Structure 1
């Protein structure tokens, strides 16, 4: 799939989540958890700067989805990692990591309970490229929500904000 079609497909998936105009990573996880009918649990993970270690891991059990993110990086990077890992859930990607018993025990899980496991160290697979594109789209929606008024304002404050927002024209930037 070419990048433009992939991006459009990701935009459609994000729109289908029906997130509020202003949302954050936790809101995203809550929306996906509600859609799936199972909790998403966020857990920090210390890779201690290991070169080949994934900075994020998605682990699916029968009862919950767990998203591990590198604790030794910036909050901005942590949120992107979480957006990437939740994108694997949204896209229903099969697990790509080997279910190594030692790795599962290190994360605090019985390997027999793990259904799927994703962790990225590169973007060489279609699933990783799709998850990364989806994460980028999600993060762009989060930033736009902070900067721009909603397209369809609902509350009084949002209506005033939309009324006084500076109109922009496609292809032109104000300097």
Structure 2
């Protein structure tokens, strides 16, 4: 699964990015669905730290807890993006959750939700795959960031030598 996940991320041919959030336009282009990031409901009884909802209009909503570090939020985001990219909602083990609990998501009409997946709803394989793909997405971002920084340092060194 590690090798397949790594190959999958490599096959995406993602652009360089300074953060996982900068990859969202490329993910949207690939899936054809706009992605909206929203804070997870405060005090959720479900203990959800990340959740993905796709509406019948093919819009993806990713809910992320704000009461955690930016690094943890980015990890949650990468994990949820992995579920989107692997179409885990098409797994026959999943069925759409309807209606959306209005007390949790008062701004989303329950009639437009195609599916809703919280982390606790995944099969072990899908959850593990999302964690691996999310980690490889994060590596992609950090590798590119390091490469850009290395390139900038090399360019600065060359400029200093010439002056």
TM range (shorter): 0.7 to 0.9
How many residue pairs get aligned? The number is 152
Cα distance, 1:61–1:123 mapped onto 2, change above 3 Å: closer
Match of 1:99 among 85, 97, 100: 97
* TM-fit CA distance, 1:27: 2.3
Report the RMSD for the aligned CA atoms in angstroms. 3.0
Whether 1:74 and 2:69 are equivalent positions in the alignment is yes
CA contact (8 A) 1:58 1:117 kept: yes
Q: Which runs of 5+ in 2 are unaligned?
A: 159-163
Q: Match of 1:171? A: none
* TM-fit CA distance, 1:148: 3.3
Whether 1:62 and 2:56 are equivalent positions in the alignment is yes
Q: Which runs of 5+ in 1 are unaligned?
A: 1-5, 151-156, 165-175
1:51-97 per-residue CA deviation (whole Å, 9 max, x = no partner) reads x4220000001221110001111111111101000100100102747
Cα distance, 1:102–1:49 mapped onto 2, change above 3 Å: closer
Counterpart of 1:103 in 2: which secondary structure? coil
CA contact (8 A) 1:88 1:131 kept: yes
* TM-fit CA distance, 1:104: 4.8
Cα distance, 1:77–1:49 mapped onto 2, change above 3 Å: farther
CA contact (8 A) 1:46 1:71 kept: no
* TM-fit CA distance, 1:29: 1.8
Q: Match of 1:44? A: 39
Greater shift, 113-122 or 68-77, is seen at 113-122
Q: TM-score, normalised by structure 2?
A: 0.77
Cα separation, 1, equivalents of 2:133 and 2:15: 17
Cα separation, 1, equivalents of 2:72 and 2:20: 12
CA contact (8 A) 2:79 2:131 kept: yes
Q: TM-score, normalised by structure 1?
A: 0.72
CA contact (8 A) 2:5 2:132 kept: yes
* 1:153-168 mapped onto 2 (5 Å cutoff): 160=154
* TM-fit CA distance, 1:114: 1.2
Hey, which of these two has a bigger chunk of helix by percent?
2
Which structure has more RCO (C-alpha within 8 Å, separation ≥ 6)? Answer: 2
